[in-house]
Amino acid sequence: MSPETQLAWERFQSGAAATARREIIASWRRSRSSGVDPDRLNLAHSEIDVQSPFVRAAAPVLLGMADLLTGSSTSLALADPDGILTWRWESERTLTQDLDRIEFEPGTQIAERSAGTNGIGVATTTRRPSLVIGAEHYKQPWHPWACVAAPVIHPITRRVAGMVNVACRATDTNHLLLVAVRALVDSVTTALHEAATARQRRMLDAHLSMRSASAGPVVTLDRQTAIVEDEAAELGLDRPALWAAVLEAGPSASEIALADGLRARLYPVTAGRLEDGVVLVFTRGFASAPGAPTPGAEAYLGPLEQAEVRVITETLAECAGNKSEAAARLGISRGTLYQRLRRYRLR
């Protein structure tokens, strides 16, 4: 354990200025704000699903590395997106007993708000790989340990599926910890993709295709799965409620209306069927005239794009909808005009 890190931890706990890695100081502050006890374990425990899709796909990948780690005093673990430990393997029996003693065991809530600074806790909060060594842990009973964790992004839903963690005694820390975790994340991601059904892959293909052609946020979902990226995640959508609205609208609907003026164009992955999933392109509703953008499209365009929409719309109106004449007046080819119409979803 680094004496400098131990001194920094002690100074921080006493309220004095402390010098440590920026990531660690930020986590210490969050841990203190959450009321985490630095001296006692006092960890919460939860029921876990040991047969969750993430564990079923990821555990065999981690066990594939077991032979390489035997005799190295190393532990491999998985956690869910909320930081609850769901699976653990260790290379030797004494390590098992030591980890049980510090409550690093399946069912333990390792999230930062519960357990303070640790690899899984920081990775869960930041959604980035995190290495925590010795006294960088917020809880003193974990100071003899080092761990590195990283989130696994599901290749279909694009959301965090869970966490991969490699731990060892702090005195055994080396740069290969990060290398090992990155390799495991890549392999687990591949395993998740292989475990995905053909229907889920079709949903992803439809999602990516629509996203590249749409100006607004795109969500693709079925009864159990939702593909939601950052722009759409900011809308705060509830998947069960959204799917219920889709079912109520039916497979022939072209649009659904939601709360707060939010609307979505509806595109079934398979024409005439909802069971194979639907792609929703979101807009904020306002009344539109013939030849105007799909309702709400301008809410997601920049000033120059909005200006272009107005010019195209006005020109089409002046040309009574004649696209060849409109393209000539705009000084662009007919093909370019059609690209703009698709991009802005002009009618």
For residue 323, the one-letter residue type is K
Q: In the structure, what pLDDT confidence band is assigned to residue 345 with cuts at 50, 70 and 90?
A: low
The number of beta carbons lying within 10 Å of the beta carbon of residue 77 is: 25
The widest CA-to-CA distance across the chain, in whole angstroms, is 81
Pair of tokens at residue 56: 């079923």
For residue 123, the one-letter residue type is A
| pLDDT tens-place string over residues 210-263 | 887 777 889 999 988 899 877 787 788 888 999 999 999 998 888 898 877 788
Pair of tokens at residue 277: 């999933």
The residue behind tokens 């649009």 is 255
Interatomic CA distance for residues 242 and 145, integer angstroms: 44
Q: In the structure, what pLDDT confidence band is assigned to residue 76 with cuts at 50, 70 and 90?
A: very high
Specify whether the CB–CB gap between 255 and 264 falls below 8 A: yes
Q: Three-state SS string across 29-42, please?
A: HHHHHCCCCCCCCC
Average per-residue pLDDT in the chain?
A: 87
Interatomic CA distance for residues 211 and 282, integer angstroms: 11
The number of beta carbons lying within 10 Å of the beta carbon of residue 209 is: 13
pLDDT at position 299 is 44
pTM of the model: 0.69
For residue 209, the one-letter residue type is S
Specify whether the CB–CB gap between 346 and 340 falls below 8 A: yes
Specify whether the CB–CB gap between 112 and 121 falls below 8 A: yes
Return the C-alpha torsion angle 244, 245, 251, 253, nearest 10.
Answer: 170
Residue 113's alpha-carbon distances to 28, 148, 180, in angstroms, are: 10, 18, 26
Interatomic CA distance for residues 150 and 263, integer angstroms: 36
Residues of the chain with pLDDT > 90: what percent?
Answer: 51
Specify whether the CB–CB gap between 279 and 269 falls below 8 A: yes
| pLDDT tens-place string over residues 88-141 | 999 888 899 999 999 999 999 999 999 999 999 999 999 999 999 999 999 999
pLDDT at position 126 is 95
Q: Would you say residue 300 has pLDDT above 50?
A: no
Helix (H, G, I), strand (E, B) or coil at 243: helix
Q: What is the mean pLDDT of residues 146-171?
A: 94
Q: What is the mean pLDDT of residues 264-283?
A: 90
pLDDT at position 261 is 75
pLDDT at position 298 is 45
Q: In the structure, what pLDDT confidence band is assigned to residue 5 with cuts at 50, 70 and 90?
A: very high
pLDDT at position 303 is 54
The number of beta carbons lying within 10 Å of the beta carbon of residue 223 is: 12
Specify whether the CB–CB gap between 106 and 55 falls below 8 A: no
Return the C-alpha torsion angle 114, 120, 125, 131, nearest 10.
Answer: 120
β-bridge pairing 145-153 and 218-221: unpaired
β-bridge pairing 160-169 and 218-221: unpaired
In the chain, count of helices (H) and strands (E)? 14, 10
pLDDT at position 92 is 86
Q: Would you say residue 160 has pLDDT above 60?
A: yes
pLDDT at position 141 is 96
pLDDT at position 213 is 75
Interatomic CA distance for residues 74 and 169, integer angstroms: 8
Specify whether the CB–CB gap between 242 and 280 falls below 8 A: yes
Q: In the structure, what pLDDT confidence band is assigned to residue 302 with cuts at 50, 70 and 90?
A: low
